[in-house]
Amino acid sequence: MGSITSEVEPVYVTTVGELVSAVTDMSDGRYVLWYRGHSQAGWDVLPSIWRGYTPAEERNLTNRFRSRASIRYSPAPEYDATASWLALMQHYGLPTRLLDWTRSPLIAAYFAIAAAPPGNGRQGDAAIWVLHPEILNARQGFRAVTPPIDAHMCGSMLWPAFSDNAEENDKVLAVMSSETDLRMFVQQGCFTIHSSHTALNKSEGHAGFLRPVVVRREHIPRMVREIDACGFRRGDLFPDLGNLAEELRRSHPPGSYVEERNPQGRMSGERTVQG
């Protein structure tokens, strides 16, 4: 838990409509903002690998994964395709220096509130972090663009995850994902690459490119229903059969479905066939 840490006072919202209005006010219309949902507002904007792991432990994880993944995943990336390997590791839950973002505020809201609603271990407020990626990159000394993760300029920030001969630059870079994965496409996914071990919300001057939006705990149940009404559901954001089955299991527990008959004696789900 804990309170949110930021140079900027949070914007508080109580509905999906207020969230959309808030992020619209943050945008000048020229650039697409990025969003990240946290089910606990006090969590830092920091990738999982820098929450306790050392650089040597990072290299141990990446190289072990790379050496053992090929027989389990086909076609595996080329050995030196560090961007593809890290994206694959992130996709399957290995701690990496990548941090997931989305270009949709409602998808971020789903991960902040609907993926862990009250009663499922939630103990506090939720947060949606709003990032201006081009300003972040300019402040970090890069061009004010968001390159694809496999662009040449990203390589120097990815190689240290695999080799101790590569030098860190202690920066953060916002990059687009390579849309070779259906989940990344559906979730409008993108990344920040973190050579720096400092949480983005604790970096000096982050007020120029990062802002928090907070949903108080008492408003979460209503917003969960609104997110669902807008069509943002687990089986669609995670487009595989396992997550579809999980969505249906949760939304249709035993005793939740009632067959009703219309005046003609047909069940409501039956169609009339003419001709």
Taking only the tens place, the pLDDT of each residue in 195-226 is 999 999 999 999 999 999 999 999 999 999 99
Virtual torsion, Cα 78, 161, 211, 206, nearest 10 deg: -130
On average, the pLDDT of the chain sits at 87
Q: In which band, very low, low, confident or very high, does the pLDDT at 122 lie, cut at 50, 70 and 90?
A: low
Taking residues 24-43, report their average pLDDT.
92
Residue 233 lies in a domain: yes
Percent of the chain with pLDDT over 90: 65
Tokens 């860190």 found at? 168
In a domain, 48, yes or no: yes
- pLDDT value at residue 29: 79
Alpha carbon dihedral 99, 31, 129, 38, in 10-degree steps, equals -50
CA distance 238 to 187: 8
pLDDT at 79 over 50: yes
Q: What is the mean pLDDT of residues 169-196?
A: 83
Does the residue 123 lie in any domain? yes
Tell me the average pLDDT across 218-244: 80
- The band of 271, judged by pLDDT with boundaries at 50, 70 and 90, is very low
Alpha-carbon torsion 4, 6, 9, 10, what sign? negative
- Tell me if 86 is assigned to some domain: yes
Residue 182 lies in a domain: yes
Q: Which amino acid is at 149?
A: I
On the question of pLDDT at 164 being above 70, the answer is yes
Residue 128 lies in a domain: yes
Q: What is the band of 272 on the pLDDT scale with cuts at 50, 70, 90?
A: very low
**How many domains in the chain?**
1
Which residue type, as a one-letter code, is found at position 240?
D
On whether the CB atoms of residues 88 and 96 are closer than 8 A, the answer is no
Structural domain boundaries, residue 241: 11-250
Residues 6+ apart with CB under 8 A from 117: 220, 221, 224
Cα–Cα–Cα angle for 27, 28, 32, rounded to 5 degrees: 55
128 sits in which H/E element:
strand 126-131
Q: Does residue 273 sit within a domain?
A: no
Residue 118, in any domain of the structure: yes
Model confidence band, residue 254 (pLDDT cutoffs 50, 70, 90):
confident
pLDDT of residue 230: 85
